[in-house]
Amino acid sequence: MATSPSASPAATAPWDVRRNSSGKHRLRRLLPWLAALLLLALVGWGFWPKPVLVETATVSRAPLTVRVSEEGKTRIRNRYVVAAAVAGRMRRVPLKPGDEVQAGVTVLTVIEPAAAPLLDPRSREQAEAEVSLRQAAGKQAAQSLEAARAALQLAEADRARFRAVRRSGTVSQAERDRAEGEASIKAAEVRAIEFSIQVNDFRLAQARAALARPEVGTAGGVVEVKSPVAGRVLKVLQESEMVVVPGQPILEVGDPQDLEVEAEILSRDAVAMQPGDAVEIEQWGGEAPLRGRVRRIEPAAFTKVSALGVEEQRVLVLCDLIDPPPAAKALGDRFRVEVRVAIWHRDEVQVVPAGALFREGNVWKTFVFRDGKALATTVTAGRSDGRLTEVLAGLEVGTEVLLHPPDAVKDGTRVTRRRGAGG
């Protein structure tokens, strides 16, 4: 039986060949477009904004103390400039800075008086009046010493009572510290008056020596200049042998253990300070800071030019040391320290790291980390100690905020925590 050519499986219609050829050609034409679309997708994915790596911190409640920090220096509370009592030739000063001296015992130098004219009646009356003045000043200082000692006894009694009730918990730590500081200050005042009595006795001896007018050339004609106080030589102003006139400075003496700290505080910061404020003294050479208390804030400011050439109004603030450790005995006169005065304190306030806040105009803002985004939030900031800032409104305790946000972060920017950052 004959078979039709169209029924043969090997036979293919011409139109079928053309259909297959056109399908392959269309696929070859689509391949470049598919590659371009894939490239565009890759480029878009590469330029798609990625989350910014940030560090976060949490709003919490903590104690906050605001302090004013400024460079200061130690100084001897009572320093004395020993001057020549008479005119004449002064012998060489054998002492050096740091040598120990005893009040009324150590001879600082010897002066051979020059030939002096006879005292006229007016000069003699003036010399006798000077002696009487020094005697009256000595009696006045003695009365002041009795009053200071009575005040010291009262302060020590208060301190003893505070120490006696230490375990009962009826007295706050601030009151104990104030009692301790008051007793230390009264003790320092007693020592200062005792030194002033010694200085007045020395000046009385000088006045009597001027009235006596020793003769030149005799064995007792020389004038021995003795130390008015016990302590050490601070500075030798005239060391070589020379001719001196009455009142010419020779050297400085003082007690290096009787130290105080002075700091030049900006006037706008000094307004917030009061005598009795707690002070921390750092960078003095020891590990732990020294405790102190503000004793005096001088009422007059002075102009000082800063390192940048800016004129500043500063006030001299004097601080007393409270129970300094034995290592602090190495401190001397004019040693550099750093003074930190506490001007405000609260036991518990809502705080946030200062690095989380930034100003936008006159408004404080921060970025809150929420659902992987940075949300700009306006806050009301209070006081700050440079590390923590008080938050008065705008944030709740436990809120997570961005710490030192980079410039790329805006409101609504996608962010992610840096590995190891707090949350």
What does the pLDDT look like over 293-336, one tens digit per residue? 999 999 999 999 988 899 999 999 999 999 999 899 889 889 99
Answer yes or no: is pLDDT of 228 > 60: yes
**pLDDT value, residue 62:** 92
For helices 121-164 and 173-212, angle between their N-to-C axes, nearest 10 degrees: 160
pLDDT digits (tens, 9 = 90+) for 19-47: 555 666 676 777 777 777 777 777 766 66
List the structure tokens of 400.
Answer: 């997570």
Residue-range domain boundaries for the chain: 53-64+347-417, 66-73+258-345, 81-254
102-125 pLDDT, tens digit each: 998 999 999 988 765 666 777 777
For the stretch 163-176, pLDDT in tens is 777 655 666 777 77
Domain 53-64+347-417, CATH: 2.40.420.20
Mean pLDDT of the chain: 83
Check for a shared fold between 53-64+347-417 and 66-73+258-345.
no
CA dist., res. 39 & res. 46, Å (int): 11
> Residues of 214-236 as b/e, b for ≥16 C-beta within 10 angstroms?
beeeeeeebbebbbbbbbbbbeb
Question: Is residue 343 within 8 Å of residue 375, measured between CB atoms?
Answer: no
Beta strands, E only, 298-335 = 302-305, 311-321
Would you say residue 161 has pLDDT above 80? no
Q: Which pLDDT does position 391 carry in this prediction?
A: 93
Superfamily of structural domain 66-73+258-345: Efflux pump adaptor protein, beta barrel domain (2.40.30.170)
Q: Is the pLDDT of residue 222 over 50?
A: yes
**Is residue 249 scored above 50 in pLDDT?**
yes
Examine the pLDDT at 237 and tell me if it is beyond 80.
yes
